[in-house]
Structure 1
Amino acid sequence: MERTPLFVGLTREVSFAGLPIMYLVVLIATVMLGFIITRSFVYLLITGGVGYVALRGLAAYDPKIISVFIATVQRTRMSPRLLRGEELVYRA
């Protein structure tokens, strides 16, 4: 049952151009923000290419790592001391 094309297709990570959607969002946000700040097409091409290759390798290693990072940051309470600039303290 788990080897049928329908099951494999429905459980596979949604991707575009070989990158999971969350990786693609991170890549586009990073590249476009940097391009807007620098106004350099060289930056756009180099960062886009290097970022794509790096994220493609990371996605091959673990396609859910960015989602895990986001969930960890959302669930971890930050200390009010961080907002005052005193130190970075995480508590579970």
Structure 2
Amino acid sequence: MKKELLIGVVVGLIANVIGLYFATSFFGNGEDVVSVLKAASFEGFLGKLISLGAILNLLAFFVFIKKRQDYRARGVLLITIIIAVSTFVFKFI
């Protein structure tokens, strides 16, 4: 049970990183990812980019639900909630 939850968390993190890469590539106007993330942090919309990256977690969540792997889906949901709370806290700090 804990192993399945951990697999879901790892899949959620990987999906978020891939989604963040796609978001920075789309909104970066041809710049590299690091410079886009630095500019986003400086201009105050890094949390929005991270939230856009979490969209791929929906895909992973529904794939796990469809395959009836509920604990893995819980792990993806858990990491999505953690990312949402951390971006909320990051915005107000």
Say whether the fold is shared (TM-score over 0.5).
no
Flag the structure with larger Rg: 1
Q: Which has the higher helix share?
A: 2
Higher relative contact order (CA 8 A, sep 6+): 2
Q: Which has the higher strand share?
A: 1
Q: How high is the TM-score relative to the length of structure 2?
A: 0.35
TM-score (norm 1): 0.36
